[in-house]
Amino acid sequence: MGLIGVYKEASLTDLAVYFGSLTAYAATYIWAESKRPSTKTGIIKSGPSSRREVMIYVVVILWAIAGGFSMWFKANLSELSIYFVSLTGFVASWIAGEVYTPQDKINDDLNK
């Protein structure tokens, strides 16, 4: 991402803000995994996948695609960063909630 930014002459300040826009989300994911590690195999291995792991891959891929297009077409990278920061609260709170009451447990309780 940094190389695309330099190649397309993006503002390094805007690029720094863009990288920072995912920091709180990634930190919440790392905290959640350290607090209660996923018991499922993960997205790369066969078997059931951890929803948290799937969510981090999806968000990072969307973040990278949107950032790449933004830099390539010289769109406002700061506005894109604000967009991702605004989504962080929603997604990070879901991840934090999964630490304390996993969705699987809620679904099991509802099925009983």
Q: Which residues, in sequence order, are CB contacts of 17 under 8 Å at separation 6+?
A: 77, 78, 81
On the question of pLDDT at 101 being above 80, the answer is: no
Split at pLDDT 50, 70, 90, the class of 106 is low
Quick check: is 108 in a domain? no
Residue 109 lies in a domain: no
Residue 60 lies in a domain: yes
In a domain, 35, yes or no: yes
pLDDT in tens, 57-93: 888 899 899 999 999 998 998 899 998 888 888 888 8
Q: Could you tell me if residue 79 is inside a domain? A: yes
What total of structural domains would you count in the chain?
1
Write out the two tokens for 83.
Answer: 């967009």
Which structural domain, as residue segments, surrounds residue 58?
A: 2-101
Give 32-53 pLDDT, tens digit per residue.
888 877 777 666 777 777 777 8
Predicted confidence at residue 93, as pLDDT, reads 83
For the whole model, what pTM was predicted? Answer: 0.73
Q: Is residue 93 part of a domain?
A: yes
